[in-house]
Amino acid sequence: MRIGGIETGGTKFICGLADETGNVLEQTTIPTEDPETTLGKVADFFRENPIDAIGIAAFGPVDVHPQSPDYGMIGKTPKFAWQYVNLITELQKNLPVPIRLDTDVNAAALAESAAYGTENLAYVTVGTGLGAGAIVEGKLVHGLLHPEMGHIAIRRHPGDPFPGCCPYHADCLEGMASGTAMRARTGKSGKDLPADDDAWIYEADYLGQLAVTLLLTLSSEKIIFGGGVLQNDWLLPMIVEKAETQLNDYLLLPKPVGEIISKPALGTQSGLQGAFLLGRSLIE
Do 84 and 160 lie in one domain? The reply is no
Considering its fold, how many domains does the chain have in total?
2
Range of the domain at 165: 107-265
Do 88 and 128 lie in one domain? The reply is no
Burial class (CB in 10 A: 0-12, 13-18, 19+), 24: middle
186-223 b/e with 16+ CB inside 10 Å = b? beeebeebeeeeebbebbbbbbbbbbbbbbeebebbbb
Do 150 and 178 lie in one domain? The reply is yes
Residue 20 has pLDDT above 90, yes or no: no
Greatest distance between any 2 Cα atoms in the chain = 55
CATH code of 75's domain: 3.30.420.40
Do 130 and 236 lie in one domain? The reply is yes
Question: Which pLDDT does position 80 carry in this prediction?
Answer: 87
Q: What percent of the chain has pLDDT above 90?
A: 87
Do 129 and 198 lie in one domain? The reply is yes
Do 218 and 274 lie in one domain? The reply is no
Do 142 and 233 lie in one domain? The reply is yes
Q: pLDDT digit string (tens) for 206-241?
A: 999 999 999 999 999 999 999 999 999 999 999 999
Secondary structure of residue 144 in the 3-state scheme? coil
Q: pLDDT digit string (tens) for 160-201?
A: 999 999 999 999 999 999 999 999 999 999 889 999 999 999
133 φ, ψ (degrees, to nearest 5): -120, 165
Q: Which DSSP helix (H) or strand (E) runs through 5?
A: strand 3-7
Please state whether beta strands 3-7 and 12-18 pair in parallel, antiparallel, or not at all (unpaired): antiparallel
Do 170 and 260 lie in one domain? The reply is yes
Q: pLDDT digit string (tens) for 55-72?
A: 999 998 899 999 999 999
Where is pLDDT greater, at 44 or 129? 44
Do 24 and 82 lie in one domain? The reply is yes
Q: What percent of the chain has pLDDT above 70?
A: 100
Q: Which CA distances in Å does 6 have to 73, 122, 240, 282?
A: 15, 21, 31, 15
